[in-house]
Amino acid sequence: MKQWRKRGIVLVAAFSLAVASLAGCGATDPEETVLTVGEEQVPFGVVNYFSRMQQARYESYYAAMMGMTGEAFWEQDTTGADSKKQSYEEMVKEGVMGDMQQLYLIRQHAEEYGVTLSEEEETAIEEAAKQFVSDNAQEARDVVSGEEKYVKEYLTLMAIENKMAPKMMEGVDEDVSDEEAAQKAMEYIYVAYSKQDESGNSVDLSDEEKESLKEDVKKAMDDVKAEKATFAEAAEELGVSVQTATFDKDSYAPNADLVKAADALEKEGDYTDLVEIDRGIYVGHLTSLLDREATDTKKASVVEQRKNEQFSDLVDTWKEETEITVNEGLWKKVSFTKQGVTIKDTATATE
């Protein structure tokens, strides 16, 4: 969800919405407090606007891609981070409420970091809010609390968070050793336990055919190890191609069992034994104990992870220090299943 708001200083709400007719949802005062963060009271209109923007994106892209109605999409079951069963609606709303709390906490601490918005940024936010109002009919704005002041408030919160994030991540240790980030490299082949029938459909091999194929792979690899053929020639003989991958002991792609076998190899140039899985056979060829490019990429990833952890730890600390309450009864009135919202036009983002 957060990736939709971290696109720059201002995410311009330059799109129009389509809304379904209300299904039994009574009118809600957009000024009524739905969230309190410390001494700051957050009106329903701001939270509803953010919620509906997320809903519109999900319904316009994911539900449409899956060929489902919005209602059916939101009623699907999923498993949350704590392994509890949730509907998609519950999962997204939980994320929205957490994001809103984070946005207000960050703004409340912006002065400590010397973060303010420039006149240019404030003007861009105001223009974006006016554009949203201009692009959407009153009916749609009523459903999503899309009045200028609520849109402007949300965009302001976003802009401050985007300026705060780099400062909140400052001071992270960026020294990552080769040993900590080491990535190995391998070539590998995969021979599937399937074939095409006369109609071109994929069918599973019989047990006898699997055993015969396994013997073919073993013979081809024996020739490679005896230097009678190259790994590429063996792959061609088996009707497959050689692929490449970088990995460490925690990797699981292209296959966890293959990675485990390749990671156990001690010398560059060594080959794994046949790694048999239900659907076929892998064979790996260790080409590097330290792939420089992949290791450097991993180092950058480790630093980024440290920064994100520091950012999250700060937010968690502020949450612990701040009294936060949610008007659950009012929050329940934001229903994705009872009120559909989709995007008519492609959403655009500008900095």
Note the pLDDT tens digit of each residue in 9-25.
344 455 678 886 544 45
pLDDT tens digit string along 326-349?
999 999 999 999 998 988 754 443
Residue 346, pLDDT score: 45
Entry pTM: 0.84
Question: What b/e string do you get for 82-111 counting C-beta neighbours within 10 Å, with b at 16 or more?
Answer: eeeebbbbbbbbebbbebbbbbbbbbbbbe
pLDDT tens-digit profile, the chain (351 residues): 444 344 333 444 556 788 865 444 557 899 999 999 999 999 999 999 999 999 988 888 888 788 888 888 999 988 755 567 889 999 999 999 999 999 999 999 999 999 999 999 999 999 999 999 999 999 999 999 999 999 999 999 999 999 999 999 999 999 999 999 999 999 999 999 999 988 889 999 999 999 999 999 999 999 999 999 999 999 999 999 999 999 999 999 999 999 999 999 999 999 999 999 999 999 999 999 999 999 999 999 999 999 999 999 999 999 999 999 999 999 999 999 999 898 875 444 333
Q: How far apart are CA 256 and CA 264, in angstroms?
A: 12
184-289, CATH topology level? Chitinase A; domain 3 (3.10.50)
N residues, the chain? 351
pLDDT score for 5 = 43
User: What pLDDT does 344 receive?
Assistant: 79
Enclosing H/E stretch for 281: strand 280-288
Beta strands in 109-208 (DSSP E): 184-192, 194-196, 202-204
In the chain, where the domains are located: 2-172+305-343, 184-289
Ramachandran angles phi, psi of 276, nearest 5°: -95, 130
